[in-house]
Amino acid sequence: MSVASSQRQVYLRLLQALRPHWRSDLNLPKRIQSLLAGERAFGSRDRRLYRELIYTTLRYLPWIEPWLEKDPDRAAKIAGWLAADTRDTRAFRAELCADWPGLPSLATRAKFLESSTAELLPRWFQEHCPAIFEPRELEVQLARAPLWLRLQTPNPTEVTREFTALDWRSQPSPALATAWRMLDEADVTKSDAYAAGRIEIQDLGSQLVLESIAITPGDRWLDACAGAGGKTLQLSQRVGPAGAVDAHDIRPAALDEMLERAERAGLENIRITARPAEGGYAGVLVDAPCSGSGTWRRAPHLKWTTTPELVTARAQLQRQLLDRFAGCVRPGGLLVYATCSLSSRENDAVVTDFLSGHREFTVAPPARAFGFEPTAAGLTILPARHDTDGFFVAALRRR
Ligand SMILES: C[S@@+](CC[C@H](N)C(=O)[O-])C[C@H]1O[C@@H](n2cnc3c(N)ncnc32)[C@H](O)[C@@H]1O
């Protein structure tokens, strides 16, 4: 049996283990990780190959799933054909898909497989965000998400020198010079730059959330849903050493991780708070828990596990969190609401509902819109324009 044929068998075996869970397990990436880690015979190249094939399967599930019963070999061939062309997938694709054309446009791909592109996102989501069903956005939804870094040093010479020595290519974003996109597969967490806090991993869309806000150095901010601190660190740099960031979350373990990252970056103006001060902040960031529909290309299983009911439940929680933290904003200060969702029900609708019950707040236009058109409520960061995850951000000023 050829190498690619035996890889096909392994791929199909792995899929059988995941199949009962891929429409129900919100934590599927963890399951995939332990499945691959449990395969003792795998080297790192095998893990990268099967990871890519599995994620491709999840991205294009409606095009592949039906074949698993009818014709598993065809399912493997479709997955190989649609997978990204990397060092790890090249031999598999070359052997199994030799008689198929190179990857054409999405519409032609669909025609070739006698499928429909509309199936590749949950149909019910069209009402929540019609924009991502447009061809350009849909194409991006099906591509692998890039790795974005946020530079934490004003002088990147050492980072550039190290990356050059490691043969890692990177490129600053035209939208934001301090955001670098990695052009090569690289485990940046193993670099000196990462260990010394000169870089952090943070999607560009996530970086644009705070970059769209006017933040005054020296101000005191609350990061009310800080989690592991992606935005806390960025906020800390924006307010500078004369300012301060209080970080709050219901997950202490995530806050510990945030502190580790802050220490690595040498940021000394962050502290954890269990009881944020009423009226005590020039700015409050509520980066709320959400359905995560902006991260579908990074976490494609969410396309099949997310339901309209989950979106409704998240919107209720988001509304409660805005009520809970609005009182922490001092008069004249900003309440910044953000999600990594593209559902209007979790975004504009939550803001509109909040404003109807809080006449003391008004929408402040974004300081920078990065080419997007703000609505009356806020700014939606769609993935295709800057090759990012999708986000929403609204700045609400307290009178
Ligand atoms: C989208 S994540 C935050 C991500 C983080 N800000 C970042 O940039 O990496 C939402 C966070 O809200 C937290 N959360 C959920 N319910 C909360 C509550 N009632 N009060 C504060 N934080 C809450 C979750 O634990 C989670 O860390």
For 214-266, write each residue's pLDDT tens digit: 999 999 999 999 999 999 999 999 999 999 999 999 999 999 999 999 999 99
Give the Cβ contact number of residue 320 at 10 Å: 11
CA geometry: angle 171, 336, 202, nearest 5 deg = 25
C-alpha 154/C-alpha 168 separation (Å) is 20
Q: How confident is the model at residue 1 (pLDDT cuts 50, 70, 90)?
A: confident
Tens-place pLDDT, residues 152-161: 999 999 999 9
Bridge partner list, 392: 339, 380
Nearest CA to ligand 1 atom 3: 227
Tens-place pLDDT, residues 298-318: 999 999 999 999 999 999 999
Structural domains counted in the chain: 3
C-alpha 24/C-alpha 65 separation (Å) is 15
Q: What six digits make up the tokens of 102?
A: 């190179």
Tens-place pLDDT, residues 325-382: 999 999 999 999 999 999 999 999 999 999 999 999 999 999 999 999 999 999 999 9
Looking at the structure, do residues 24 and 62 belong to the same domain, yes or no? yes
Looking at the structure, do residues 371 and 242 belong to the same domain, yes or no? yes
Q: Tell me whether strands 281-287 and 329-339 are parallel, antiparallel or unpaired.
A: parallel
pTM of model > 0.75: yes
Indicate if ligand 1 lies below 6 Å from the C-beta of 225.
yes
User: What ligand 1 atom has the least distance to the C-alpha of 288?
Assistant: 10
Select from 211, 250, 314, 341 the residue to mutate for testing ligand 1; criterion: most ligand atoms less than 8 Å from CB. Answer: 250
Q: How far is CA 323 from the centre of its chain?
A: 26
Tokens 């006698």 correspond to 114
Q: Which distant-in-sequence residues (6+ apart) come within 8 Å of 76 by Cβ? A: 8, 11, 12, 53, 96
Q: Which distant-in-sequence residues (6+ apart) come within 8 Å of 282 by Cβ? A: 216, 219, 220, 221, 330, 333, 334
Q: Which domain holds residue 31?
A: 3-117
Phi, psi of 272 (to 5 degrees): -90, 140
Q: At 220, is the secondary structure helix, strand, or coil?
A: strand
Residue 192 in this model has a pLDDT that exceeds 90: yes
Residue 185 in this model has a pLDDT that exceeds 90: no
User: What ligand 1 atom has the least distance to the C-alpha of 231?
Assistant: 8
Q: What six digits make up the tokens of 260?
A: 């580790």
Q: How far is the CA of 289 from the centre of ligand 1 (A)?
A: 5
CATH number at residue 221: 3.40.50.150
Looking at the structure, do residues 228 and 375 belong to the same domain, yes or no? yes
Residue 118 in this model has a pLDDT that exceeds 90: no
Mean pLDDT, to the nearest integer, of 158-167?
97
Looking at the structure, do residues 237 and 331 belong to the same domain, yes or no? yes
